[in-house]
Structure 1
């Protein structure tokens, strides 16, 4: 990844473990990408549903927490997540495209779709998220 969309914030341990990266991040929208490796697959050789659910959850969280102020961040926690698996993937690049749909000062609603490298929809989901204290406004908190 050539551009640091996290603005100097270190990658989380979970992000390091799975290997996804934030490819696009703007107000109310985020795109995560993951190159499928053997560690992402189940015993049948397909991307594990937990990996797809993680991409949905994480991309939604990013869509809800864009912060336009350098050196500051916004955070949220997942309150509810639904997932639907619509296809299968074995290899290649997965892209999770998330959008913030609605919400108020503390609770927001987001949705995400995960596509394989041919553009086929393999999973989709929706989540409800609560902003952590200090993250309710675009100013967020100091990094």
Structure 2
């Protein structure tokens, strides 16, 4: 039986996998899992996300770490109002650079307050090589308009 927290292949349309974030969608990031206290995003390792050495660009890793940590603290069940946040700080450790196919980013909130939350995130290459990790502080915001 399919885990209900994971987007099933039959409904894994571009719209369902979209992060609803123009930058992440442009980068090619896809949701794999988004549920209470957990987010997971995937990004295929392609030449457009590498630096001139042919390794994953540090900015791409930071984008994944930041996004997945932020989304992990902003899940809202269907029918509930959307939750948004902004990053107040992100501390990143670059740990490795390997060859592979998929970057798998996961994030979990560690502590929540009324207006801020703290989260950790990691990016693994094909689930085998830990490329980078981060911890961040995020502030809940109200959307304008």
TM-score (norm 2): 0.83
Q: Does 1:32 align with 2:41?
A: yes
1:86-130 CA-to-partner distances (Å, cap 9, x unmatched) read 100344100011100002111100000110015211100011000
Contact 1:47 1:90 in 2 (8 A): no
Contact 1:7 1:71 in 2 (8 A): no
Structure 2: runs of 5 or more not aligned:
1-8
| Structure with more contact order per residue of length (Cα contacts < 8 Å, sep ≥ 6) | 1
Q: Does 1:55 align with 2:64?
A: yes
Q: Distance in 2 between matches of 1:108 and 1:97?
A: 16
Aligned residue runs from structure 1 range 1-143, under 5 A? 2-3=11-12, 11-70=20-79, 72-133=81-142
Partner SS state of residue 72, structure 2:
helix
Q: Structure 1 runs of 4+ off > 6 angstroms?
A: 6-10
Structure 1: runs of 5 or more not aligned:
135-143
Contact 2:64 2:105 in 1 (8 A): yes
- Shift of the alpha carbon at 1:71? 6.1
- Shift of the alpha carbon at 1:13? 1.7
Alignment RMSD = 2.2
